[in-house]
Amino acid sequence: MPELYDTVISFKQLSSDFLKILDQEETFDVIIHVGDEIASESFKAHSIILRTRSEYFRAALSAAWKKKENGFFVIDLRGMSIPHAIFGHVLFYIYGAYLKIEKLGVTEKLQLLKAADILMMDAFVDYLEADLIKTEKSWVNEKSSEVLYVALQISRCKELVSLCNDSILRQPKTFISSKEFLFMPHDYVVSLVERDILGLDEIDIFAAVIMWGINNTPGISLADDFSTWTADNITTLQSNVIYLIQQIRFFQMPPDDFMKKVGPLTRVFAPELYDQVVEYHANTQFQFVYDVQPLRLNSTIIKENEEPALISYWINHPETDCDLPENLPFETFDKIPFDFHLIFRCPGNELAQTAWRDLCYNQGPTMTIIRTKNQNEDEAVFGGYKSISWSTENHDTHIGGNGFIFGYLWQQRKLLLPWMLRPMLTVSKI
């Protein structure tokens, strides 16, 4: 492909030539102040290149066109959350259209990502996002809370947000315990608590919502004794968390947890809701005003999309083959005709057969699901359904109810078809 080769060579030469301009001090006509009150630095550049490469600089230079100081346009970026230590890399990219990115640490890349967004450099944002996903995936998964906090501030970083979400949903308790969670935007916290599949107990979701609400309510703090809050404090906190509170399945909480851990904070939400939940736990046939939301599936393996609907379809149609229905049989999670209750969860390296038996025997119909991951971070999920209880009574016989086993792959956060499905007329051993 000689044309492509020639294009690459031409680009490299052009990039090299423009970087040489960055060293030509006699032609500079812009001074840029970068940093904060503690530390700052001044950089020189060329207005024509800045205007061409950045929408922010184009607007800033238009406003400063008649305000030269000693022959220079002056742009002050101090206080704009751009560290002076990384601004040299920004200028390098503006002139050369690339970075020596392999020499940068992940923290520097995140700082550059924020700077690129502030300076309205979309191509630079895309360049940095692609690098983080391609070369820093392990770090992003490990520090998903920190990365998500940055990525959510940048509208173009949808793929990075998606990658962080996948990681967070595998370890949601770690996420809601992180300091970054306390600073997440309201819309993101809403999207989290609205999920019908979330690997958290409702009491933990409630605690996280309250902590987030306190942290985002002026005049109160997490260190306060809440009995000292004023009526105005309570009203402001209520307005911050009212919708989030409505998404919590209080009616699904164990009564003791509700009374001990939610009861002391009844001032935060509507008194009638608290009274309704108390009445419900005393009498499950009680006719209440509030809609009782379906039980949330406490799982870090199943994703909230096609999986629950298709698994439920298979349970209803054990005679089916590998072909999938043309349309999803259940439009939303709450329309699935089964309640899923988590009875056992364990990391693979800690899995013990005896522990599984102790918790899963004599439980009625069960679904067992295992997730694995290869070196490319692609996931495979395997599982099996049994229509009657596992028990010692039928363990050594061939009479154990019907069911099926299944498996599917996720590659780069997308479901890979076809699925594997094998009906089984009898299931007896594990």
Domain ranges of the chain: 14-163, 171-282, 306-424
pLDDT of residue 430: 42
How does pLDDT run across 86-134, given as a tens digit for each residue? Answer: 999 999 999 998 899 989 999 999 999 999 999 999 999 999 999 999 9
Strands (E), 27-114: 30-35, 40-45, 68-69, 72-76
Please, are residues 21 and 96 in contact by the beta-carbon 8 Å criterion? no
Q: 171-282 has which fold?
A: 1.25.40
Strands 40-45 and 379-386: unpaired
pLDDT score for 25: 83
Q: Which parts of the chain have pLDDT scores under 70?
A: 1-11, 64-66, 284-294, 304-306, 318-334, 348-353, 375-377, 393-401, 410-430
- Kindly state the tokens that stand for 387: 């229509």
Angstrom CA distances, 378 to 148, 219, 307, 412, 413, stand at 21, 46, 17, 6, 8
> What pLDDT sits at residue 428?
44
Question: Looking at the domain that runs over 14-163, which CATH code has it been given?
Answer: 3.30.710.10
Instruction: Write the DSSP symbol of residue 343.
Output: -
Q: Is 415 helix (H, G, I), strand (E, B) or coil?
A: strand
DSSP annotation of 258: I
DSSP secondary-structure letter at 261? I
Token duo for residue 235: 């009203």
Q: What is the pLDDT of residue 358?
A: 83
What is the number of alpha carbons within 13 Å of residue 203 lying toward its C-beta?
11
Q: Scanning the structure block, which residue is given the tokens 């999986």?
A: 307
Query: pTM of whole model > 0.85?
Result: no
The b/e string for 378-407 (b: 16+ C-beta within 10 A; e otherwise) is ebebebbbbbebbeeebeeeeebbebbbbe
| Predicted local confidence at residue 426, as pLDDT | 46
DSSP β-ladder status, 414-424 and 403-411: antiparallel
Beta strands in 20-136 (DSSP E): 30-35, 40-45, 68-69, 72-76
